[in-house]
Amino acid sequence: MGKGRRIRRDRQFQFIRGYTGEKMKRKVTALICAAVMVLSAAPCSFAGVVTQKEIDEGLKACAEYPVSLYVDGKQLVFRDNEVPPTIITLAGEQNGRTLVPARTMFEAAGATVDWNDEWREVTVKYNDMVVVVKIDSDIAAVNGEQVKLDVPALIIDHDGDGFGSTMLPVRFVSESLKFGVKWDGEARSINISVPEKIVPAVTTGSAVSGGAVASGSALTSGGALSSEPAIVANPFATYPAIYVPATKITSTAIYAGTKFPDDYDATIPAISGLAATKLIVIDAGHGGSDVGAIGHEDQFDETHEKDINLAVALRVCELLKEAGARVECTRTDDTAVALYDRPAIANASGAALFVSIHNNSNPNSMPNGTEVHYYNKIDEQGNDVNAKYGLSCQLLARTVEYEMCRALGTAQRGIYSSPKLAVLRRSEMPAIIVEGAFMSNDMDLAKIRSVEFTERYASAVAKAIVITMNGSYLRERENAENDRT
C-alpha cells in the first residue's frame, strides 16, 4: 500500500461485487462461461464450457502459486475479498486462460471503467477506444463494432460469500485498448504497458469558466498535468457554514479539468405528508482517533476523511431540517463513535432511515467517482424491512447516486448490495452508505477539499432523500386508501 493511501478497514467492495444469489449460484454450478484469455503465443481454439471444477482448480493453483499483475512496471495490490488474477486450464488443454478483476486492473492503467447494473455491462474507455463487455455474453463491442469472444465475462465468487468479482479477459480488453500485454511464464506475471494518455490541448492563461483552466494552474505548456498543483486560499476560511476541519486543510489544489457541473438544480423540495413524521439519522463516518482515509498523507495539504464526512453530514442535517424533516446525527463534532454504536443509535431512536456519509480510497490512485451501498434486509421475523418501513433502500441508493453524479460531476461507479457492511447489516431500518469521491485520486481530492464539494454533496443527498421519501410514503398512503375502498 503506497504512502498516503490509507484504506479504512470496513471497506468491503472495490468494484462489481455482483450479488450472485441462489439463481446465479445454480447457473454458475451448472454452466459457467469464464472471461478468460490465453496468455501465450499459441492460438486459442476454445469452444467449450468452463466447469466449476476447472474454475476451483484454477483458483486453488493461483492461491498456491499467485499470478502477479503489473501496469507499467508497478505491481497492483488486491484485497482479500477480490478474486486475484486467475489462470484456468481446461481439460485436455495445455494453455491456461487468465482472468483479471476489471476495475482494479483497468483503472490502475488510467482507463475509465463503468458498470451498468440494469444491462450488466462493463464499459472500459481509454483515449479513443471504448470496449463494452456484457456479463454472460460472448459478444463484445469495440468502438461500436461487434466482436466474437471465445468466452464471456463473468462474475466469480471465489470465497463462497454470495458475492463475486467481475473478471474480464485481460488480453482481449487490453489489446482492444491498444495496451501491450506480456506473459512471463517463469515469473507467473502479467505485464501491461499503457500508451501515453491523450490530453486535450488547453490554452494556458485562460479563465476557469466554461471548462478552461485558470492561469497558473497545474498545466505544462503541452497541456499535461505538472507535478506541482497551483494553490488557492483556504476554502474554509470564508465558509459561512457549520464546521471547520481540525486537520491541516490550509489550501486546496486545483487540477486541469477539475470543475463542477454548472447545470445542476440543487433545489430541495419540502418534505410532505407522512414523510415529514419519519425520523432520519445521518451518520458522519469515522471521527476522533479514527481518521478514515487520508488524502496526501504527510504533505502540506494532508486531508482526513473524518473532517470532510462531518462537514457534509452536518450540512445534510441542516438542509433536511430546512425542508421540514425530522433529523438526528450520530455525531456533531470530532468524537469517536464505535462502529456498532452507529446503527444502535438509529435503532434506539426509532428512525425510519439511516444514511452514512463517507468518502472512498484505494491502494491505487486511478479509481475515482461515486458509489452507494445498500442492503435489502429481512428481519428476524422474516419480514422485508423495506416493505415494513415503506421505503426501498435500493431505490434511495439509485436516487442518491444519480443526484450525486449530476451535482459533483463524478464518475458513476454504481450501487452495490453490501450485507457485510456493519452499519447496513445491524440497522433495523432501510440504510445506505454514500461514498462521495476518492481521497486517493488527485482529481477527486481536489474537489473534496473545496467548499463547493461539501455543499453539492450535501444538497444531492438531502434532495434524493426528500424525493424518495415523499414518493414512497405518498404511494403507501394511496395504497392504504385503496385497501379501505
- The three-class DSSP label of residue 412 is strand
Q: Which helix (H) or strand (E) holds 71?
A: strand 68-71
Residue bearing cell 449530476? 406
Which one is predicted more confidently, 341 or 176? 341
Of all residues in the chain, the percent with pLDDT exceeding 90 is 38
CA distances to 25, 452, 466, 480 from 31, in Å: 10, 50, 44, 45
CA pair distance 296, 37, nearest whole angstrom: 37
How much is the pLDDT for 435? 97
pLDDT category of residue 199 using cuts at 50, 70 and 90:
low
pLDDT category of residue 162 using cuts at 50, 70 and 90:
low
Mean pLDDT of 172-201: 85
In this structure, what C-alpha cell is assigned to residue 167? 473478471
**Worst-scoring range by mean pLDDT, 39-43, 76-80, 102-106, 138-142?**
39-43
* pLDDT at residue 381 greater than cutoff 90: no
Cβ–Cβ < 8 Å for 419, 425: yes
How much is the pLDDT for 185? 85
How does pLDDT run across 249-279, given as a tens digit for each residue? 333 333 434 679 988 999 999 999 999 999 9
CA pair distance 57, 59, nearest whole angstrom: 5
Q: Is the dihedral of CA 87, 89, 93, 94 positive or negative?
A: positive
* pLDDT at residue 7 greater than cutoff 80: no
The matching CATH number, chosen from 3.10.28.10, 3.30.457.10, 3.40.50.10860, 3.40.50.720, for 18-193 is 3.30.457.10
* pLDDT at residue 153 greater than cutoff 60: yes
What are the strands of the beta sheet with 68-71, ordered from one edge? 74-75, 68-71, 189-193, 180-184
* pLDDT at residue 46 greater than cutoff 50: no
How does pLDDT run across 418-448, given as a tens digit for each residue? 988 999 999 999 999 999 999 998 889 989 9
Q: Considering only CA atoms, which of 279, 265, 285 is closest in space to residue 324?
A: 279
Mean pLDDT of 355-360: 97
Mean pLDDT of 374-401: 91
* pLDDT at residue 80 greater than cutoff 90: no
How much is the pLDDT for 395? 93
Q: Considering only CA atoms, which of 413, 397, 394 is closest in space to residue 460?
A: 397
Per-domain residue ranges for the chain? 18-193, 246-476
CATH topology of domain 246-476: Aminopeptidase (3.40.630)
Mean pLDDT of 392-410: 94
Residue bearing cell 486517493? 440
Mean pLDDT of 160-186: 83
How much is the pLDDT for 216? 32
CA pair distance 366, 32, nearest whole angstrom: 31
For 368, left (φ over 0), alpha (ψ -120 to 50), or beta? Answer: beta
Amino acid at residue number 187: A
How much is the pLDDT for 243? 30
Average model confidence (pLDDT) across the chain? 76
Mean pLDDT of 365-388: 90
Which one is predicted more confidently, 143 or 463? 463
How much is the pLDDT for 25? 41
Which one is predicted more confidently, 461 or 119? 461
How much is the pLDDT for 107? 85
Cβ–Cβ < 8 Å for 36, 151: yes
How much is the pLDDT for 282? 98
How does pLDDT run across 292-336, given as a tens digit for each residue? 999 999 888 899 999 999 999 999 999 999 999 999 999 999 999
